[in-house]
Amino acid sequence: MRALVDDSLLSELKIEFLENVAFNLLYEEAKNLFGEVAARQLVYKIMKEASKSMVERFRSQGLLNVNDVTTALSLPCKAFGVAASCEREGDKLLVRVRECPLLKFDEDKSGRACITMMSLVAGMVESVTGKRVCIITPRVRFGTSSADLVIKMLKSKLLGDEECLFEVRAK
């Protein structure tokens, strides 16, 4: 039997489907059903838990060796082609995002691409460190108020800044 499509097209279809679900449909459909605030929190919770589960499964299989916050922060960025760098400054870690291909999913500047990416980062950091994470943005706060680590958005390309800048510190 002859293949209807080649493997590279199948791979592109899979990526397109997953990106569409993660960055468009999940947020939009949740917003239509529950409202914007609930949609943001729901997407955060689902994506964070999915990220934690993935990291734990890959680590248990010996496929992923991530043991520090810096690597946990940079891994989702690398996976999605986000140009980010991490630098330590005293008791905090600064994460700078210069280029973000995920902005194409956020034409209305709702923040849905950022929510998804921050959720993935939070899940990975929680999985690696065993510490609870809270994310604070200019618009909304995600996670528990009794978090051990706080990731605070200081700048955002969506809000007109030249880069996104996040500060990570122990609470």
CATH of the domain at 97: 3.30.1380.20
Pair 112, 24: CB distance under 8 Å: yes
Given a cut of 60, whether residue 2 has pLDDT beyond it is no
Is residue 68 one of the residues assigned to a domain? yes
Order of strands across the sheet with 133-136? 83-89, 92-99, 164-170, 149-155, 133-136, 141-142
| Residue numbers of the domain that contains 64 | 7-170
Is residue 149 one of the residues assigned to a domain? yes
Is residue 2 one of the residues assigned to a domain? no
Strand intervals (E) in 39-106: 83-89, 92-99
User: Model's pTM, two decimal places?
Assistant: 0.80
Give the tens place of pLDDT for each residue, 111-147: 888 888 888 889 888 888 889 999 999 888 999 889 9
Work out how many domains the chain is built from and give that number.
Answer: 1
Given a cut of 70, whether residue 4 has pLDDT beyond it is no
Pair 133, 141: CB distance under 8 Å: no
Strand intervals (E) in the chain: 83-89, 92-99, 133-136, 141-142, 149-155, 164-170
SS3 for 43?
helix
Give the tens place of pLDDT for each residue, 82-93: 888 888 899 998
Give the tens place of pLDDT for each residue, 59-100: 888 877 777 778 777 777 887 778 888 888 999 989 888 888
Is residue 1 one of the residues assigned to a domain? no
Strand intervals (E) in 72-132: 83-89, 92-99
Give the separation between CA 140 and CA 145, rounded to whole angstroms: 13
Residues 6+ apart with CB under 8 A from 68: 128
